[in-house]
Structure 1
């Protein structure tokens, strides 16, 4: 590793600053375009040693755990707290613009929809047993080292206030030496905790954990590797006006505010569709909102999530009919013949996208489509397939659901021009 003086000119796709040199690009975390720095360089990567001349777009990070120094090299959750809002927002919107341009998609990308600090309701912590109890925090970037956190400016206030309790429960769960994950969902009437670990519990461990949860009033449920150890009250989420009991560890949108924006975009686009297909429906984020005006058929591979959706729809009065189907759309996508009865469709697949399924959608006659993704690259690929099939992109909206990270949620609305 050699020390070098570098000029940072722009931000890369992961949020690292980029210095252009005769040897090629060098990526430096915790830097801002306009910074002049000293850095320890090793091939194309470098670590920040000192900021010689700070950029006018460098700001003070709001989190005490964010930083490049050896004692506090960042918790690994955020990458861009040190960047001024205007630069940060332009960069994050630019991730979507660049993904579309790479596929020659000429669509206007809306201004980034911002999310406020302390609004993230779903957080995944890392934990490990130590001689002094469990350490609870986040994995440092590109490392298995867990950084202990006293606060998180992204997580909801309720999760922050519960950090001491979460640490106590992590200590109770940590019977093995290996690190494990503790997913925390801020739901009503209390936090929903799901531990995923490479070790097993003996019966005395289960009883001890149950007693520990009973002593924590902020916790509604705790599961271990999918097994419900204790459920004081079923956790509840609101999808529109529908109350859903999410399954343990089930997928939900990370931010309630972001989910509301996404839901408004989707329902506004599909509100005149008599029948709608919701692909990769989860527990009903979009299906239950769409059922206010449309007959909805929801398809999802995860059985517990689908059961939660079905139960919520059945007990809510005033909805249009909601039907469900357990189906792996990667292995068995909806065929063109099955899509004939729908006037609207929404799909929200995992990061890998829905390439095989989209190929059939592109050959359908469905008038309106809403595509949601947390990966602009795979979304652009899927949109290209739909465009080649005759669809037109109406709007593209980036949503900053994953604040200060390199991830961005996107809602793209499409329509098939009338023949």
Structure 2
């Protein structure tokens, strides 16, 4: 049964919040102030009609929006979109006891996402539908880079050959790097070789193991070209990597030594090494090896010491942190153990990149309690039309 209600606010997942019989009900694809018709199942609402639209409502550009579970926010105009994402950051900081405002909101969608993961089955491939285990058989995804235009068709071809699996795509300088995960046991890697060749893939991996290498996938970072290891982290858009790198380079000043922690394959380390010697650490051994190789093949860099180290279990201690500047770019879980050591060290200057406002706020509060001052907080929007936001901030004692 459809009921009529008014949307009071937006939740942190971008869903409208309606109050029905004293209970909060979350309704995707709605905006504050709108009168809507919905069906209700527990605390979940499904939109059946917009009776009066918010001034900030716009027409989504993708025909799959509303069915596909990939994008949540295409119905918002630019101003409402930026305000919502900015509020995600500032709310997390307030909840951690910090009063700080986002100084700049930077759109970094660039040419689109250079990475995507599609689900494949015997007869279809695409993203999961919203709040569902049903698959949307995708013809095209307009938020991907043009080089990934073939991704749905490639995923369908692989799904037809091996059945249900997840397929990750990365657009690289050498072409498409494709990895198959969660395939049924007993899939024969050798049967995929002719298919990978026919599809023109640069590389194909199954369960993290290489099946086919026609050309080594590489990505450009600063003046370096880096071999991309299977499964290593890469920023979702090339523009976001550039924006974040520009931020880091501007924020570090003129240090004589730099630590780049959670360095990955070196998007910051390779650029920082043009300025000062860098100690780079990350748990991704293959990523560290790729960074090391890139350093050896790039002229004009200062010394880069790259070390494989699990900074969650074995952070650099307060006694090891003898660097003018520390740069951190942890995964979604944040850098609690490492930040604890930084807080207890004599370090005076930290630049932190983060992809989760809540873990960032927790870590930032630890630094502020240790006498650091948070400044130049920026939000970088690379995950277009989703509720994810990247952020960067500078801390000085």
TM range (shorter): over 0.9
Q: What is the CA-CA distance between 1:118 and the residue it aligns to? A: 4.6
Question: Which stretches in structure 2 are left out of the alignment for 5+ residues?
Answer: none
Partner residue, 1:283 = 265
313-322 or 110-119, which deviates more: 110-119
Separation of aligned partners in 2, 1:82 and 1:118: 20
Which residue in 2 is equivalent to 1:252?
234
Matches within 5 A, 1:14-413: 14-67=13-66, 74-116=67-109, 118-130=111-123, 135-172=124-161, 174=162, 176=163, 179-202=164-187, 205-217=188-200, 219-339=201-321, 341-413=322-394
Q: In the superposition, relative to structure 1, how do residues 342 and 117 fare at CA in structure 2: closer, same or farther (>3 Å)?
A: closer
Helix, strand or coil at the partner of 1:27: strand
TM-score normalised by length of structure 2: 0.96
- Partners of 2:41 and 2:151 lie apart in 1 by 41
Q: Deviations over 1:169-209 (max 9, x none)?
A: 3433x2x4xx321110011120111111242345xx43331
**Contact 2:109/2:381 (<8 A) preserved:** no
Number of aligned residue pairs: give it. Answer: 397
User: Quick one: distance in 1 between partners of 2:312 and 2:85?
Assistant: 29
3-state SS of paired residue (1:243):
strand
Q: State the alpha-carbon separation in 1 of the partners of residues 186 and 297 from structure 2.
A: 36
CA distance in 2: counterparts of 1:338 and 1:95, whole angstroms? 34
What do residues 92-115 of structure 1 show as CA deviations (whole Å, max 9, x unaligned)?
111001111112212231232113
Match of 2:4 in 1: 5
Q: Which region of structure 1 is more displaced relative to structure 2, 243-252 or 108-117? A: 108-117
222 and 283 in structure 1: CA distance in 2 versus 1, 3 angstrom threshold? same
Q: Distance in 2 between matches of 1:118 and 1:296?
A: 31
Query: 3-state DSSP class of the match of 2:359?
Result: helix
> Following the alignment from structure 1 to structure 2, what is the Cα–Cα distance between the partners of residues 215 and 247?
23
Structure 1 Cα separation of the partners of residues 223 and 294 of structure 2 = 11
Structure 1 distance, partners of 2:160, 2:242, is 35
Contact kept in structure 1, 2:327 and 2:351, CA below 8 Å: yes
Can you list the C-alpha shifts for 1:314-358, whole angstroms capped at 9, x where unaligned? 11110000011111111111111011x201111111111111111
CA RMSD of aligned residues (A): 1.5
Is the CA contact (8 Å cut-off) linking 1:126 and 1:146 kept in structure 2? yes
Indicate the residue corresponding to 1:71 in structure 2: none
With structure 1 as the length reference, what TM-score do the two structures score? 0.91
Deviation, 1:382, is 0.2
Q: Tell me, yes or no, if the aligned pair for 1:223 and 1:248 is still in contact at 8 Å.
A: yes
Give the conservation status (yes or no) of the 8 Å contact 2:5–2:37: yes
Paired with 1:206 and 1:59, the residues of 2 have a C-alpha distance of 47
CA–CA separation in structure 2 for the residues paired with 1:26 and 1:238: 46
Counterpart-to-counterpart distance in 1, 2:70 and 2:336: 29
Unaligned runs of at least 5 residues, structure 1: 68-73
CA distance in 2, matches of 1:24, 1:300: 45
Deviations along 1:204-259, one digit per CA (max 9) or x if unpaired, are x4333111111223x21110011111111111111111110110121100011011
Q: Distance in 1 between matches of 2:125 and 2:15?
A: 26
> 1:194–1:225: 8 Å Cα contact kept in structure 2?
yes
Helix, strand or coil: the match of 2:376?
strand
